[in-house]
Chains A and B, each alone.
Chain A
Amino acid sequence: MANVGRNTPVRKFDAIVVGAGGAGLRAALQLSEAGVKCAVLSKVFPTRSHTVAAQGGVGASLGNMGEDNWNWHMYDTVKGSDWLGDQDAIEFMVRAAPEVVIELEHFGMPFDRNEDGTIYQRPFGGHSMNFGEKPVQRSCCAADRTGHAMLHALYQRNVRANTQFFVEWMALDLIRDPSGQVLGVTALEMETGEVMVFHARATLFATGGAGRIYSSTTNAFINTGDGLGMAARAGIPLEDMEFWQFHPTGVAGAGVLITEGVRGEGGYLLNKNGERFMERYAPNLKDLASRDVVSRAMATEIKEGRGAGKEGDCVLLKLDHLGAEVIDKRLPGIREIAKKFANVDPVKDPIPVVPTVHYQMGGIPTNYHGEVVVPKNGNANSVVPGFYAAGECGCASVHGANRLGTNSLTDLLVFGKASGNSIIRYLKENPGLKDLPKDAGDRSLSRLARLESQTNGESYAEVAKDMRRTMQKHCGVFRFPDTLADGVKKIREISDRVTRTEIKDKSKVFNTARIEALELDNLIEVARATMVSADARTESRGAHDRSDHHGRDDVNWLKHTLWYKEGDRLDYKPVNLKPLTAESIEPKVRTY
């Protein structure tokens, strides 16, 4: 049995960082190097965090390949966000980007290089020079292992700075006192099954995304949105959760990404009748139209009964006509992925694919200092003392309704560092550690006790599967009013079922069933926030695309959504169109 007694042990720190991916490691480094006594908690060994999957690179206007500057990067980011991004945060990020990339180089990150020794930069979709005129090379990478190299460089540096790691510890709940101030977290040590209170003056969440709310996602199994679940349970709203970026070609049933390069080399999509349907949706660009156009066409084919496969729930990516030689040479790795995860050899047969969830634009609301902000006493952005968020779990909001490729690695470096600096400042100004509230561990302990004593409950794995299917079917890449409304009803029912899940294995040490049941508590909050927010937003903007409301509606919807767990209710706050120093980039139609 887990320790559900009254005498939960307590450890004290100046600051706690939950999460050891790119964002958590960057923040921890800032803190440790400033001499702050800081603990980093992670469910897995730091270098196994999901940041390791990033290949495309990190965006910064270094201008190593030709002219570039932060004003252009800013314009691309605002336009990419479909004007839902906050322009103060965007200016802050793009201006800080070159500096954090150079710092990373000094930390030992093995960036690809030009002959003159400067960092080599690749082109990437959506990045342009001179305000959309033509493509620019802005992405800094380390071969196809950018995320891996970043994690390793940051981890080594943290070890040197004596950051204290708690690996295979799962944070369970946020601790707030009656005034709302954050005083740390409760956490479960997997090795022993014991719960401990981490009592601190400042707490940063860097827990990554929640792609696992969908059945088709490119995200690894650990991406269960724990930070969002913990925040929601503690009364913090979640911002803009209806905005999820989909990648058009994930392997059906598995989610593994098939690179856009396949269509670049001449591969194309077919429906169940063998029709090359993109010709109908995008007569000129066909299969090379932008991600959202292709994804929407695929979803429409499936919804209208022309999907392929036994369940009619995918389309087919044909590339056999390219021949084995081109496939092996120009598209390395694709055959292995198709064989392993779709059981087809693309040299002979098409790969079944579906639009697949890739990145979460929304998250825990913060300002550009990484401080968590909530509406209070008429102030839409009132700071929650002692609470910070950065990386994919945070929403500053720089990505708005749609993220530009390479901007999330930029985001986690810039806001990881900025939140570290904010914490250092806060600790100086607020020296004393406030007492823990009496009920500090209660929420976690009662969640654990409930799991311990539940009988006649449902298997958590079954409920999780139903949640994923419901999200996929009712809140996919292209959204229909009837399926959304129905989806809200269904996800609320599933949310009730989550409160009655049962685990058979009650052992203490490394009880993975218990861990996964606890993760489901977090996933379901994210799922509900997503469905309810999407149902309410009656416009199409960025990644949120509705069949009944084409186009953006700036008169009614140029605002951020805030979802509250309590009451399952929504609120809204204005988008900040005012940059720090630059001129505002006024909303206009987004075409590429």
Chain B
Amino acid sequence: MDVVSFNRLRWNCRRGLLENDLVLEKFLERHAESLDDVHLAALNTLLELDDNSLWSLLSGRTEYPEGSGAEIYEILALLRTC
């Protein structure tokens, strides 16, 4: 990923809930370098969610609706390990 995309993503990971900040920070440390375009787009889709819905997903209390591309579920699975 180029510097601008990374920086943009990093700012997009600044959230209103500390829980989300912490998970996303760890995710960026571990996986940002190896993200391809498809997964970056999937991550950005998740980041469009409001903070409460995002945290529900990250903590495993809710599931992402079925019927989206595989990359969304792959990113979510990775996020849940962070």
Contacts and interface: CB of A to CB of B under 8 A. Distances in A.
Nearest to A168: B11
A511 to B, nearest CB: 6
Interface in A122-156: 145, 148
B17 A190 contact: no
A52 B17 contact: yes
A512 B60 CA distance: 29
A474 B43 CA distance: 40
B29 to A, nearest CB: 12
A219 B16 CA distance: 9
B16 A44 contact: yes
A148 B51 CA distance: 8
A518 to B, nearest CB: 13
Given A336-B61, A512-B10, A53 B16 contact: yes
A535 B19 CA distance: 32
Nearest to A148: B52
Contacts of B50: 47, 52, 148
A507 B4 contact: yes
A190 B11 CA distance: 9
A40 B75 CA distance: 34
Interface string B1-31: 0011001101100111111111101000000
Contacts of A254: 18, 22
Nearest to B4: A509
Contacts of A145: 52
B7 A220 contact: no
B14 A222 contact: yes
A148 B55 CA distance: 13
B22 to A, nearest CB: 6
A337 B8 contact: no
Contact of B59 (A50, A190, A336): A336
A511 B11 CA distance: 9
A340 interface: yes
B8 A510 contact: yes
Contacts of B22: 254, 256, 341
A220 B18 contact: yes
A492 interface: no
A51 interface: yes
Chain B interface mostly helix, strand, loop or mixed?
helix
Contacts of B14: 43-44, 48, 220-222
A511 B25 CA distance: 16
Contact of B7 (A49, A148, A255, A511): A511
Contacts of A340: 19, 23, 59
Nearest to A514: B7
B17 to A, nearest CB: 5
Nearest to A509: B4
A256 B11 CA distance: 21
B51 A337 contact: no
B17 A220 contact: yes
B59 A48 contact: no
B51 A48 contact: yes
Interface in A503-518: 505, 507, 509-512, 515
Nearest to A52: B16
A131 to B, nearest CB: 36
Contacts of A510: 4, 7-8, 10-11
Contacts of A515: 11
Most buried by B among A48, A145, A217, A509: A48
A158 interface: no
Contacts of B3: 505, 507
Interface in B28-77: 50-52, 59-61
B59 A333 contact: yes
B20 to A, nearest CB: 8
A507 B7 contact: yes
Nearest to B26: A340
A372 B18 CA distance: 30
A394 to B, nearest CB: 20
B18 A219 contact: yes
Q: Which of A47, A52, A190, A217 has the most CB of B within 10 A?
A: A52
Contact of A256 (B4, B19, B25, B60): B19
B19 A337 contact: yes
Given A148-B50, A333-B61, A336-B59, A53 B7 contact: no
A220 B10 contact: no
Contacts of A52: 16-17, 50-52
Contact of B18 (A47, A256, A505, A511): A256
A341 B11 CA distance: 22
A507 B3 CA distance: 8
A84 B31 CA distance: 49
A45 to B, nearest CB: 9
A559 to B, nearest CB: 34
25 contacts: A47-B16, A48-B14, A48-B15, A48-B51, A53-B51, A145-B52, A148-B51, A168-B11, A218-B18, A219-B18, A220-B15, A220-B18, A254-B22, A255-B18, A337-B19, A341-B19, A505-B3, A507-B3, A507-B7, A509-B4, A509-B7, A510-B8, A510-B11, A512-B11, A515-B11
Given A217-B18, A509-B7, A512-B11, 14 more contacts: A44-B15, A44-B16, A47-B16, A49-B16, A50-B16, A52-B16, A53-B16, A53-B18, A218-B18, A220-B16, A254-B22, A332-B61, A341-B22, A512-B7
- Smallest CB-CB A-B distances: 5 pairs: A52-B16, A336-B59, A510-B7, A48-B16, A221-B21
